Structure 1
Amino acid sequence: MSEVTYSKEEKSKRVRGIIGASSGNLVEWFDFYIYAVFAMYFQHALTAPNMTSSAQAVYVWGVFAASFFMRPIGSWIFGRIADKHGRKNSMVISISLMAVSSFLFALLPTYEQVGMLAPFLLLLVRLLQGLSVGGEYGAVATYMSEIALKGQRGFFASFQYVTLSGGQLLASLLGVVLLMLMSEQQLMDGGWRIPFVVGGVAAIVSLLARSRLEETLSKDDEHKEEAGSLRELFKKHWKTFLLVVGYTSAGSLSFYVLTVYSKTYMTNLGIDGKIVGYMMTAALFVFMVAQPLFGAISDRIGRRAAMLAFSASVAIFIYPVMVIAMPYFSYSPVIVTLLLIFMMMLLSFYTSISGLVKAEMFPPHVRALGVGFSYAVGNAIFGGTAPAVALQFKGAGIENLFFIYVVVMLVICFLCSFALPKEPEYLHHDH
């Protein structure tokens, strides 16, 4: 494999591209995850008061799951834009949509004000956010894989999940800060609107950064008749598409169990809600910081070895850690946090290269569409539904079986991972 050398100017230009793309990613996911962090505070305001609080929670988390079903549509629309009109244009439009939907969320009328229209408007605005995030993943993963330095693509591409988990972390941190400044009652009385205003403003700042990015899509690929075409994707690349759905299903399911559902799970173990907020913030911070390390490891050992390590290790440890160790040590928030961090480190074999593995499998003219659409389908069916499905298992008194379901998906991912090439870097051309 020929060595590629870059001038200092070229290197700094590419690093600036990574920062520009990933900063927008941070804001998109921050805006998306604010919902999960503040759901318990707005569920009373936006749903019928005659519902039980558990029925309100089921509706609000049902809306969370529903937004994931907008992602395939978002990834199709924005993937087509990215493959036909450029990665930059796609990322600029998706962040603009997120800014609009965040401000709309902050302005939502309560059930008291408009009755049944309130939960309907909640669903509508949330679906807009799902559309925006659906477009974000494929375009950013593609852009970062194309602009990253050869031989260090795993390292650079890991910043997609640094910012994705960073968005979650900032949402979690904002929850902690607002609880310091306000009472729970004040948050329920309208304080929950503040984070959505913050998110909208951050999206506008990010829009300015993205508008300066350099395009990575070549004119040849842009002008191909089949660029961004679903027909082309399914006709010539359906096997790759199914493989990526297989990776995503297990990866997203594990990700949402550990970063979203675990918050509810730990609260149900009897740990105080405020302390759970601190625990999640600490764990997400370590998870975020670890991404470049695991990305660099994948540059050394190869994507296949990293994917096999992820699926095997999480399949082995998730049941004993979540079902046996966490309840046993529930008296010690420190030990439970360390257990959660341990699981997140195993998950990092996947998350650090998640977008890159997929981008390296599709040709440029259908890359953003292929990555985004396959990711969105796997995520909608298995990722976003994780908290709602887990609560259904819990409601039926068989919560432990939920973790068996997670293990089964990881075994499928393990088998799918053998289809990846062995060598550490297998995009032999430079962009």
Structure 2
Amino acid sequence: MSQVQPLAQGAEVRAASTFERLRSIFSGSVGNLIEYYDWYVYSAFSLYFAKSFFPNGNPTVQLLNTAAIFAVGFVMRPVGGWLVGMYADRKGRKAALLVSVLAMCVGSLIIGLTPGYHSIGVAAPILLVVARLLQGLSLGGEYASSATYLSEMAEKGKRGFYSSFLFATLSLGQLLAMAVLVVLQQFVLTAEQLENWGWRIPFMFGSLLACVAVWLRRNMDETKSFEQNRQRRRQHASIADLLKHKRACLIVAGLTLGGTVTFYAYTAYMQKFLVNSAGMSKADASLVSVISLLAFVLMQPVFGALSDRVGRRPLLIAFGVLATLCTVPIFRTLGNVGSVGGALLLIVAALLIVSLYSSVSAVAKAELFPVGVRALGVGLPYAVTVSLFGGTAEYVALWTKSIGHEVWFFYYVSTCSLVSLLCYVWMPEPKRVSCIDSD
């Protein structure tokens, strides 16, 4: 090897200035927001477009069908975590983030433009499945790339704070989807118009936002950790390389289990629970969901910054204990809540518990893996766990209700949290053993 190349490459691996670091973190975070908006708008508007794709059956069965396709989208998340995770470790975090947002854009366009069942028959739900598979592939890669990018780009001592913006922007994407729903419900369209054609608006809007995300991500800086590793790496990231870190992979899966089930129970499913079980109107349920999600977003940097002081593990253990003990009482009380204000307080309390997990989730996983397999290590075991448990949470909830045993779902969520609690007690403190410090 010549002496010139390392010097030229070394010049590229200079430390980013504070402004460049913040600009890149902002671009990555905003892109994450837009991509999760595209993902969650499906759940937010399923109350309205269920009839278009599944015209026969009672409302619970229609929601069950759309929830099943919501879960199908999660099947592709491990594939996305695998393929895009390897791509991020080989070609760069920035390149992988561009690929993921483009795939999400195409999926939203397909949903927004697909005619209903009455026009093209069974082709309508088939195209819906194809779109969700593509979006699932995108999202599996998005989490792997975003979690790795934000953790590597943040300076030591502030990684918890900056990486907490992953779940903050994830939830802002969900919040934006709900806000669009509330605006269309309250100020723009009638319920009939929303069910007939208005539900297509948010999907088309999402595809336009994705173009903004592409522009922002094209101007991001690559992380110093990846650039340095690109110079010295002699082999590509692969499953074989990842299997050298089996314990870290098991920790990621265990760490994720309770967090993903509780998160989806209190966010994606909650709107339907308030309508279907608590007897709220669709408009009131949407309003409660929007306000509680906003509170959840504000909690993320607070707990993320706290983890920089006390560590990730104490927050995770607190989440495990509270989620295990409080889930059943919270759901039982919500089922009989008599007011919008009461429901809001209960859901905010539940999301505060979830925040103890979500605020440190990304950085705790990234700190467990060396740079050469970090995106793959964060993305694949996480995506497999989310696919099996998070993506099916809404379906399990609706199924238990359909057979008259809804309370089974409450205990299911609590049990998943207990399993994660055992993992938190067993695992080392990620901040103390952080592999990012050795990059």
Aligned residue in 1 for 2:8: none
Q: Report the Cα offset of residue 109 of structure 1.
A: 1.5
Aligned residue in 2 for 1:99: 105
Q: Report the Cα offset of residue 219 of structure 1.
A: 4.5
CA distance in structure 1 between the aligned counterparts of 2:371 and 2:15, rounded to whole angstroms: 26
Aligned residue in 2 for 1:73: 79
CA distance in structure 1 between the aligned counterparts of 2:279 and 2:430, rounded to whole angstroms: 47
2:238 counterpart of 1:224: no
Provide the secondary structure at the position in 1 that maps to 2:437: coil
CA distance in structure 1 between the aligned counterparts of 2:424 and 2:404, rounded to whole angstroms: 34
Aligned residue in 1 for 2:199: 192
Mapping of residues 352-431 of structure 1, within 5 Å: 352-422=359-429, 424-427=431-434, 429=437
Mapping of residues 14-413 of structure 1, within 5 Å: 14-47=21-54, 49-180=55-186, 181-216=188-223, 217-221=226-230, 224-234=233-243, 236-267=244-275, 268-323=277-332, 325-328=333-336, 330-413=337-420
CA distance in structure 2 between the aligned counterparts of 1:365 and 1:44, rounded to whole angstroms: 47
Q: Report the Cα offset of residue 227 of structure 1.
A: 3.1
What is the one-letter code of the residue matched to 1:111? Y
Q: Report the Cα offset of residue 55 of structure 1.
A: 2.7
Aligned residue in 2 for 1:3: none
Q: Report the Cα offset of residue 303 of structure 1.
A: 0.8
Distance 1:316 1:53, change over 3 A: closer
Q: Report the Cα offset of residue 226 of structure 1.
A: 4.1
Matched-pair contact (CA < 8 Å) for 1:304–1:422: yes
Cα deviation digits, residues 58-79 of structure 1 (max 9, x gap):
2111000010011000111100
Q: Which runs of 5+ in 2 are unaligned?
A: 1-13
CA distance in structure 1 between the aligned counterparts of 2:167 and 2:254, rounded to whole angstroms: 19
Matched-pair contact (CA < 8 Å) for 1:102–1:197: yes
Matched-pair contact (CA < 8 Å) for 1:250–1:406: yes
Matched-pair contact (CA < 8 Å) for 1:82–1:228: no
Cα deviation digits, residues 164-215 of structure 1 (max 9, x gap):
0000000000000011210111011111110011100000011100001111
- Of 415-424 and 333-342, more deviation after overlay is shown by 415-424
Matched-pair contact (CA < 8 Å) for 2:147–2:362: yes
Cα deviation digits, residues 403-425 of structure 1 (max 9, x gap):
11111111111111123334855
Matched-pair contact (CA < 8 Å) for 1:252–1:379: yes
CA distance in structure 1 between the aligned counterparts of 2:134 and 2:234, rounded to whole angstroms: 29
CA distance in structure 2 between the aligned counterparts of 1:292 and 1:430, rounded to whole angstroms: 25
- Alignment length, in residue pairs? 421
CA distance in structure 1 between the aligned counterparts of 2:363 and 2:311, rounded to whole angstroms: 12
Instruction: Using structure 1 for the length normalisation, give the TM-score.
Output: 0.94
Cα deviation digits, residues 217-249 of structure 1 (max 9, x gap):
124347635432012112x11121111111111
Matched-pair contact (CA < 8 Å) for 1:83–1:222: no
CA distance in structure 1 between the aligned counterparts of 2:430 and 2:261, rounded to whole angstroms: 27
Instruction: Using structure 2 for the length normalisation, give the TM-score.
Output: 0.93
Cα deviation digits, residues 356-376 of structure 1 (max 9, x gap):
111000111111011011110
CA distance in structure 2 between the aligned counterparts of 1:222 and 1:126, rounded to whole angstroms: 37
Cα deviation digits, residues 300-352 of structure 1 (max 9, x gap):
111111110111111111111111x2234x21110111110011011101101
Matched-pair contact (CA < 8 Å) for 2:367–2:430: no
